[in-house]
Amino acid sequence: MTALLTTQGLQAFYGDAQALFGIDFELAVGELVAVIGANGAGKSTFLKCLAGLVRAPREAVRFKGEAIGGLPAGEIVRRGLALVPEGRRLFPSLSVEENLLMGATTRRSGPWNLARLYALFPILQEKRRQPATSLSGGQQQMVALGRALMSNPELLLCDELSLGLAPIVVREIYAAMPTITGEGMTVVIVEQDVTMAQRVSQRIYCLQEGRVSLQGRSDALTRGQIAQAYFGV
């Protein structure tokens, strides 16, 4: 497998408190991998380490063969890695379109632009002049996803796209994934909805208290294995 990203023994700390205890992770080009785990397991911390938002040792994270751990977040975006943050983090004073354009400030070349995004999520074109935070939760999530795509990443990290959304809206958002991965994009999703994670991903990593408690092909893992890895029961 051609590894796009690997982590080796990745540890992370908040002050004196350790959140990750040696995560070994591997991602091939074009894969969609899900990271699951209970509240506080370290899922967001893991994505933040990849994106440069939580400090990581330089050699612990390798992207396209280069050690990127601890590089500034902006530098990591320029290298082709984009994060859709937990809780969306839209700019409340900006319109939908302005929020989307914020993602394009790094100007990497690639297939994604406003026209492509509006084709993927037509409702955003309809509402493009409205303040982003006046949209429904699901539509705001589309904006957050679109903003990350506008940087034309090679690796897209999504932190809990489904948080607080109705199941039908979650399905609508995940329906966009085949189009996104169809462009050759590699995707990591953090997802609390295990059924959805198993359905859309090729492989799963389960985190428990900052460690990988289970990993494997999504279609091969059983409910029992996942429940045990999730809760440690």
Burial group, residue 76, by CB count within 10 angstroms (0-12, 13-18, 19+): buried
Q: Name the binder of 200 from ligand ATP, Mg ion, none, CB < 5-8 A by kind.
A: none
Where on the chain is the footprint of ligand ATP (CB under 6 A)?
Answer: 14, 17, 19, 37, 39-45, 86
Q: Name the binder of 19 from Mg ion, ligand ATP, none, CB < 5-8 A by kind.
A: ligand ATP
Count, residues near Mg ion per rule CB under 5 A: 3
Residue 18: CB partners within 8 Å, gap ≥ 6? 11, 12, 210
C-beta of 185: minimal distance to ligand ATP in Å?
A: 22
Cβ distance to ligand ATP smaller for residue 97 or 159: 159
Decide: is 186 part of the binding site for Mg ion (CB under 5 A).
Answer: no
Residue 186's DSSP bridge partners are: 155
Q: Report the alpha-carbon distance of residue 86 to residue 122 in Å, rounded.
A: 23
What residue is closest to Mg ion based on CB?
Answer: 44
* Beta strands 3-14 and 186-190, pairing class: unpaired
Tokens of 48: 């933040």
Please report the DSSP string for 197-212 in residue order.
HHHH-SEEEEEETTEE
- Which residues between 51 and 110 bind Mg ion (CB under 5 A)? 86
C-beta of 44: minimal distance to Mg ion in Å?
A: 3
Are 68 and 79 in contact, with CB atoms under 8 Å apart?
yes
Helix (H) or strand (E) holding 98: helix 96-102
Decide: is 44 part of the binding site for Mg ion (CB under 5 A).
Answer: yes
Decide: is 162 part of the binding site for Mg ion (CB under 5 A).
Answer: no
C-beta of 207: minimal distance to ligand ATP in Å?
A: 6
C-beta of 20: minimal distance to Mg ion in Å?
A: 13
